[in-house]
Chains A and B, each alone.
Chain A
Amino acid sequence: SQQGEEDPQALSIQEGENATMNCSYKTSINNLQWYRQNSGRGLVHLILIRSNEREKHSGRLRVTLDTSKKSSSLLITASRAADTASYFCATTGANNLFFGTGTRLTVIP
């Protein structure tokens, strides 16, 4: 399976702190995407990084990709209570995405 695996499974931080979650995958990819899921809702796309990119920023989000280690990280800076959610990485295969099992982030006000 090409499925990504996030680490840690759960993370609890204070508001204002930074949150880092990691994703490892098994095979070569076209791109890697990060999604957020609030409780009881569908997934929301956050950011896409292509296999030839090493770092990408979007607002308070920073994503890195190391294809030699088959890993990616998502950094959320200056976290807010509203960032409480599950975060998933998704890697692209030939024609579809493979999602990891997610990191559950809790930001304590």
Chain B
Amino acid sequence: NAGVTQTPKFQVLKTGQSMTLQCAQDMNHNSMYWYRQDPGMGLRLIYYSASEGTTDKGEVPNGYNVSRLNKREFSLRLESAAPSQTSVYFCASSEIINQPQHFGDGTRLSIL
């Protein structure tokens, strides 16, 4: 099925470890996004890429970096994981910015 694929689905890290979350879309979308979802907080935008070759900070970028590897792939990196980064991470894509987004099923990340 066409859509947004996130890997891994689950991950447990120790404080201070690094990790890259992968995201790929096969809908030829220009824009891609990374969100985190915490209980009672809704979704908060971490970083986004309006088009290939560009990335911008969202609402909560501290502690994260991103790479728009090509039009299909947008990765999120935690350089030194902290317990406050325990969350569910969602990747999304849209044809252009501000248009309806298609979401992956998330990566559940726990940091001990």
| A interface list, Cβ under 8 A from B | 1, 3, 30-31, 33, 40-45, 48, 88, 92, 95-102
Contact = CB atoms under 8 A, between A and B. Distances in A.
A72 B50 CA distance: 26
B42 A100 contact: yes
Contact of A96 (B97, B103, B104): B97
Given A95-B48, A95-B50, A96-B33, A43 B101 contact: yes
Most buried by A among B42, B44, B92, B104: B42
A98 B43 CA distance: 8
A92 B33 CA distance: 14
Interface of B: 4, 33, 35, 40-45, 48, 50, 56, 58-59, 90, 92, 97-106
B98, B101, B103: most-surrounded residue (chain A CB, <10 A): B98
Contacts of B4: 42
Contact of A43 (B40, B41, B90): B90
B29 to A, nearest CB: 13
Contacts of B101: 43, 45, 97
Given A95-B48, A100-B42, A101-B42, A42 B103 contact: yes
Contacts of B98: 30-31, 92, 95-97
